[in-house]
Structure 1
Amino acid sequence: MKKIILLILISTCTFQLNAQKNALEKIDFIIGNWEGTGTGFSNSTSIISASYNYIMDAKYIEVKHESHFKPTENNREGEHHIDKGFISFDTSRNSIIYRQFNNEGYINQYVLNDRLSNTKTLIFETEKIENFVPGGKARLTINKINDNEIETIFDVSFPNKVYSCFGTNKLTKQ
């Protein structure tokens, strides 16, 4: 009887320790406020501010990006891009999901590709895009350069085409 009680206590403690571990911790290196520059996105350069912060008892990461693109010959006023989103952990799929909404009207639902990601690289691939070309896909890669620098790469694939880089951002933690 004492062995059974001991096994129950050990199992309960192990379960509680595992339950308390935040599944989002593996992407902690993105947490913080960031600023930097971007290139690409129609051959324009941009000034960027980004933030990734835990909210609601660290159950979610709130994402905010804002890019100001310099004027070009084809777009004399430049552009202002805003996207906001949430990163969460889907326990039923054992996957990290990123839902992104932007001012151009696109809504992307990405899933973290665990096979391609590691402690210094996160690769999010769309599983659903609203208001985009049917069959199109997007991929967001976040590379940790060091504790204070990250690089983001945004790739797009049109139906039956390979991914093509639309833009790269270099960000420094503030």
Structure 2
Amino acid sequence: MKKSILILLFTPSFIFAQYSKKDSLWLPLKPFIGSWVGEGGGEPGKGKYQRSYQFVLNKNFIEIKNKSTYEPTNQNPQGEIHEDFGYFSYDKALKKFKLRQFHIESFVNEFEMENISDDKKTLVFTSVAIENIPKGYRARETYRILNDKEIEETFEIAEPNKNFEVYSKVKLIKQN
């Protein structure tokens, strides 16, 4: 009987001890881990999206791979395939999550998490630097976690001295 009581007392501590500090750091972004597909549209037209998020380099980063295929339009009769790679990281000095994206068009976006909602279901990243684009442009990524299988992403761009405007919006469905 004493053994049973000791086991019951220490099991919760043991279980929570297994949840490392590094794992708990990533809790706001953990829902993204996996493979996703989706549809959306915006400035480039109507498109289909394939996306994956995975931990890399000893769980110090989350790697993002994205491929967007846009249907032909009058302005772009061939359609368009867009690819980008990205990484979520945590800046210990700033105590903020960062997002860096490397686009096939040679743009490199660096974002910082500007806001996370109280329920941890809306995350907003705003650009702090954009390479290979005219000076003064800004970008913003807003992720809404709708449930454990659906995410909505809104990408916005602001021209110099102007407000943000939606460039694209996509709903992603988790595949695994």
TM range (shorter): 0.7 to 0.9
CA distance in 2, matches of 1:111, 1:118: 19
The answer for the alignment partner of 1:88 in structure 2 is 89
The answer for the alignment partner of 1:135 in structure 2 is 136
Aligned partner of 1:65: which letter? Answer: N
CA distance in 2, matches of 1:135, 1:158: 7
CA displacement, residues 137-174 of structure 1 (integer Å, 9 cap, x when unaligned): 00001111111001100000111101000010011000
Runs of 4+ residues over 6 Å off in structure 1: none
CA distance in 2, matches of 1:168, 1:32: 20
Matched residue of 1:132: which SS?
Answer: coil
Matched residue of 2:26: which SS?
Answer: helix
CA contact (8 A) 2:56 2:63 kept: yes
The answer for the alignment partner of 1:64 in structure 2 is 65
CA contact (8 A) 2:62 2:87 kept: yes
Aligned partner of 1:24: which letter? Answer: W
Residues 116-127 of structure 1 aligned to structure 2 (within 5 Å) = 118-127=119-128
CA distance in 1, matches of 2:22, 2:170: 34
Residues 1-174 of structure 1 aligned to structure 2 (within 5 Å) = 19-42=21-44, 44-114=45-115, 118-174=119-175
Matched residue of 2:87: which SS?
Answer: strand
Matched residue of 2:134: which SS?
Answer: coil
Residue 117 of structure 1 and its aligned partner are, at CA, apart by 7.2
Aligned partner of 1:33: which letter? Answer: S
* TM-score, length basis structure 2: 0.84
In structure 2, list runs of 5 or more residues that go unmatched: 1-18
CA distance in 1, matches of 2:174, 2:151: 8
Q: What root-mean-square deviation, in Å, do the aligned CA atoms of Structure 1 and Structure 2 show? A: 1.7
Residue 22 of structure 1 and its aligned partner are, at CA, apart by 4.1
CA distance in 1, matches of 2:144, 2:172: 10
CA contact (8 A) 1:133 1:158 kept: no
* TM-score, length basis structure 1: 0.85
Residue 41 of structure 1 and its aligned partner are, at CA, apart by 2.3
> What is the identity percentage for the equivalent residue pairs of Structure 1 and Structure 2?
32
Over 3 Å counting, the alpha-carbon distance change for 1:117 and 1:77 in structure 2 is farther
Residue 97 of structure 1 and its aligned partner are, at CA, apart by 0.8
